[in-house]
Structure 1
Amino acid sequence: MRHRPPNINRWKGENKIEKKITLSVIKADVGGFVGHSGVHPELVKKACEELDASPLLIDHHVTYVGDDINLILTHELGCNNEDIRRLARNILSACTEVAKKLKLCGAGQDLLSDAFAGNIKGLGPGVAEMEIEERKSETVIILMADKTGAGAWNLPLYKIFADPFNTTGLIIDPNMHCGFNFEVYDLVEKKKINFAAPEEIYDMLVFIGAPGRFVIKHVYHRGTGEIAAVSSAQPLYRVAGRYVGKDDPVCIVRCQTGYPSLGEVLEAFSHPHLVAGWLRGSHIGPLLPVEVKDAHPVRFDGPPRVIALGFQLAGGKLVGPQDMFADPAFDNARQVALDIADYMRRMGPFEPHRLHLDEMEYTTMPQVMRKLKDRFIDLPEDRETGT
C-alpha cells in the first residue's frame, strides 16, 4: 500500500536528478495468517502507518507473499545504511507486536535478537538493495518468493542476462551485446567470485547449478558497469551442526534501455523450474508464478511461489505497482507447475521430492540415529571382493 501520490518535481534537467536513488527491499516473516499461508491485513496497515511517519524515505510500498511482509523503500541514503536498517527493524518489530496480539503463527521468527548491530545478517530479515541514477525512464521489477531459498533466482537470472533463447536483446540490442558480469556468492565459505558472460558461462554454470550453496548476488552491465540486478542472498550460518540461512528471497531487476526488456525478464518464469523449500523447507517443488491475490501457499504449505511487481521510478517516487503475473499468458505456466506439484507429491517422503538429509532445514535424522545407533552392525566381509 502506498499513500503518497507520484511527484516528478525532483527532476533536474531532462535526464538527471539531484542525487542517486536507493531502492531497498526488506522482507521478514513476523507472523503467519493462517498458519504460514499469508499476512494479516493489520500487519500491512501497521507497516504503512510507520512508514508514512518516517522522514527518511522518498516513497514506499508494502506487500506480501505467503507469510512474508515485504517493505519496498526509496531514499537517498545509499545501500547498507544503518538508519534505514534500524527503521525497517523497528517497523518489523512493531508488526511483530501486532502479530503476537493476534496469536499469529511464528510471530517474530525472523527477528532473532532485540539488539541492533547496524546490519541484518543471515538469520534475520532478507535484504536486496541497489543505488542508481535514474534513467529518463527507469523501469524496475521486484520479484518476491515464498517457501524457497535464495538460489531460486539462479536459473531465472541466468536466463534473463545470459541466455539469448530467453533474452533476444543479447543478440539484437547493441547496448546489451557486450553481455553482463555475474557476482556469485559461496554461502558456505562466505566468499564471492565474478564471472563474465558470455565468455565464462560454462565455468559459471558449474557453480550456480548448485543453488543451495552458490547464489547470484549481483549482475552488472559490462558496458557501463552499472547494477542490473541484485538478490537477497546472504551467507549461511552453522547452527546445531547444519547450515541455515535466509529463505523466501527477493530480487530487484532493472528493465529496458540497455537492459533486458520487461517481457524478457518475465519470460524467465514461463516454464516453472524446481526449487528447494515447500513444506518445512524440506522438499523440492515447482516455482509457481502468481498474482498477488493468489500469493497464499496452502497446499502442503505450497507449492513455492513468486510474485512480480513492476514500477516506474520518477524522482524516487514509486509509480505503480503493476501486478506483472496477473496475465493469462502465464496460465499455462501455472498449470505446468501444478502438474509438477502433483507428480512430486506422489513421492511423499522419498527423495528427490524430500531434500537430501544433509540439506533439510528441519530433520529428525540426528535424533533417530542416536536412538538406533546400537542396532547398526558391521556388514560381513565379502570374500570375493575383500570388502
Structure 2
Amino acid sequence: MDKTVTLSVIKADIGGFVGHSGVHPELLEKAKGILSGSPLLIDFHVTHVGDDINLILTHELGRNNGEIHQLAWDTFVACTEVAKKLKLYGAGQDLLGDAFSGNIKGLGPGVAEIEVVERKSEPVIVLMADKTEPGAWNLPLYRIFADPFNTIGLVIDPNMHGGFNFEVRDLIAHKKIIFSAPEDIYDMLVFIGAPGRYAIKRVFHKANGQIAASSSTQRLNLMAGRYVGKDDPVCIIRCQSGFPAVGEVLEAFARPHLVSGWMRGSHSGPLMPVSVTNSCPTRFDGPPRVVALGFQLAQGKLIGPQDMFDDPAFDRARALCNEIADYMRSLGPFEPHRLPLDEMEYTTMPLVMSKLKDRFIDLRLSKTKS
C-alpha cells in the first residue's frame, strides 16, 4: 500500500527588503541551509512572494505535527536573526510568541497542509499571496470548485459532476460549517461573500471524501490585538483526475477581484497574478500579488516548480489590475478604497476616536438646535 505523504506550506514575514517589498537573498539561503539538514523531510522548496518567506515541505508525519512546526519555527527564528543583522524592515513581525509551544498555529505564521496517498499522477498548485487576507481565496476557490463557467469539469467530467464540500471558518467566532455544492451554493455565498470574517479553509471531493484544497486562515491582527501586517495567505490545490484541471485552477485568476490589504493592510485593491520574479509589490506597497507554483509529487519529492503565472496569457489580467489600481488609488482615504471602519480597528482609528470622544455631541440629548 502506498504511503501517506503530507504537504505543508508554512509562511512568515520576518523582515522586508526594502520596506515591505521583498525578501533578502541571505534569508532564503539561511532557510535552505537549515531545511537541507533535516531528517524529518522528504523534500522541500524555499521561495517567497513579496516580503514573505514560504516553506514548501513534504514529509510522512501528518498534519499539525509538532516536529515539523518546530522546524519551521526554528527556521523563521534563524532567518529573523539574519534580518536583524541586515536591519531589514519589520524583522520577526510575524513571530508573535516568544517560544514555540508545540504547534505553530496561533504564533503568527500561516499554515496550509494536506495529507494524500499519491495517485498515479499527483499535480498540485501552491498559491501564495502578499498584501491581503485569508478571505482572498474565497472567490477563486468558489470559481474553481463550484462555478461551471470557470471549471467545465463540473459539467463534463463524471468524476467531478457530483460536486465538492466546502469547510468554511468563522474567523471571529472560531466556528466552522460544511456547505455542499451545488446544493448549498446560495447559502454558502451569504457567508463567503464576506471574506473579512468567513474564509474557506478546506475543500473535499464529495464522492470519495478526499482532500481537494487547503488554505491558511490565520488572522494576525486578531492574534496580536494590534496591526502587525496583513496575513498573506497560502493555499494548496490538487489537480486533474477527479479534481479541477491545472488550467481550471489558474483560470480563476484571469478576472482580477478586489481583496483587502494593500498599503498598511487598510485598502482594497486588485489581486494581481504574477511570477515569483514580479512578486515584489512596490506601488503603494502593492497592488496585492498572487503567485502559483506547480509541482508533481512523486514519492514525496517535489518535482518542480513550474511558475504558472509566468505566462503572457495573464498579461491582460495584469493590465486590468493596473487600471483598477489607478481608479482605486484616485479615491485616496475614502471608502471603498480605504477599508470600512470595522476593519480599521487595529490602525490609528481607535486613537483618533478616543482623542475626539469629548467633542462628539449627542443630538438626542442636546437642547441646542442643529
Q: What's the TM-score bracket when you normalise by the shorter of the two chains? A: over 0.9
Deviations 1:260-298 (A, max 9, x none): 000000000000000000001000000000011000001
Q: Which letter maps to 2:54? A: N
Structure 2 unaligned residues grouped into runs of 5+: none
SS in 2 for 1:109: coil
Map 1:245-284; keep pairs closer than 5 Å. 247-284=231-268
Q: Deviations over 1:345-382 (max 9, x none)?
A: 00000000000111026422222222222222233789
Q: 87, 96, 99: which one pairs with 1:112?
A: 96
Distance 2:282 2:345 in 1: 19
Residues 31 and 104 in structure 1, CA contact (< 8 A), matched pair in contact too: yes
Matches within 5 A, 1:231-380: 231-234=215-218, 238=222, 247-360=231-344, 362-379=346-363
| Aligned match for 2:193, one of 209, 220, 239 | 209
CA 1:170–1:46: 2 relative to 1, 3 Å: same
Contact 2:226 2:347 in 1 (8 A): no
Deviation string, structure 1 residues 229-276 (Cα, Å, up to 9, x no partner): 000013677578779896100000000010000000000000000000
CA distance in 2, matches of 1:92, 1:341: 32
1:201-256 CA distances to partner (integer Å, 9 max, x unpaired)?
Answer: 00000000000000000000011100000000136775787798961000000000
SS in 1 for 2:277: helix
Deviation string 1:281-330 (CA, Å, 9 cap, x unpaired) is 00000000001100000100000010000000000000000000011000
CA shift for structure 1 position 72: 0.2
Q: Structure 2 CA distance, aligned partners of 1:237 and 1:33?
A: 22
C-alpha contact 1:244 1:361 (8 A) present in aligned 2? no
Partner of residue 53, structure 2: 69
Deviations 1:97-124 (A, max 9, x none): 0000000000001112222111123451
* Counterpart secondary structure, 1:128: strand
Q: Distance in 1 between the 2:224 and 2:206 partners? A: 41
AA in 1 matched with 2:105: K
What SS is found at the alignment partner of 1:292?
A: coil
> What is the match of residue 228 of structure 1?
212
Moved over 4 A (4+): 235-246, 380-383
Task: Indicate whether 1:131 and 2:115 are aligned.
Answer: yes
Partner residue of 1:7? none
Structure 2 matches for 1:140-151, cutoff 5 A?
140-151=124-135
Q: Are the equivalent residues in 2 in contact too, given 1:31–1:108 (CA < 8 A)?
A: yes
Structure 1 residues 268 and 238: CA distance shift in structure 2, 3 A: closer
The residue that corresponds to 1:92 in the other structure is 76
Distance 2:345 2:262 in 1: 11
1:166 is paired with a residue whose SS is coil
**Partner Cα separation in structure 2 for residue 48 and residue 310 of structure 1:** 19
Measured in 2, the distance between the counterparts of 1:156 and 1:239 equals: 26
Q: Structure 1, unaligned stretches of length 5 or more?
A: 1-15
Deviations 1:122-155 (A, max 9, x none): 4510000000000000000000000000000000
Task: Measure, in 1, the Cα distance between the counterparts of 2:104 and 2:366.
Answer: 54
Give the match for residue 193 of structure 1: 177
CA distance in 2, matches of 1:121, 1:201: 30
Alignment-derived partner of residue 149 in structure 2: 165
Show the counterpart of 1:25. 9
Equivalent pair of 1:185/1:192 in contact (CA under 8 Å): yes
> Equivalent residue of 2:69, what SS?
helix
TM-score (norm 2): 0.96
What value does the CA root-mean-square deviation take over the aligned residues?
1.9
Q: Which residue of 2 aligns with 1:13?
A: none
SS in 1 for 2:31: helix
**Cα distance change on mapping 1:86 and 1:382 into 2, 3 Å:** closer
Residue 3 of structure 1 is matched in structure 2 by none
> Does the 8 Å contact 1:150/1:246 carry over to 2?
no
Q: Which amino acid aligns with 2:350?
A: P
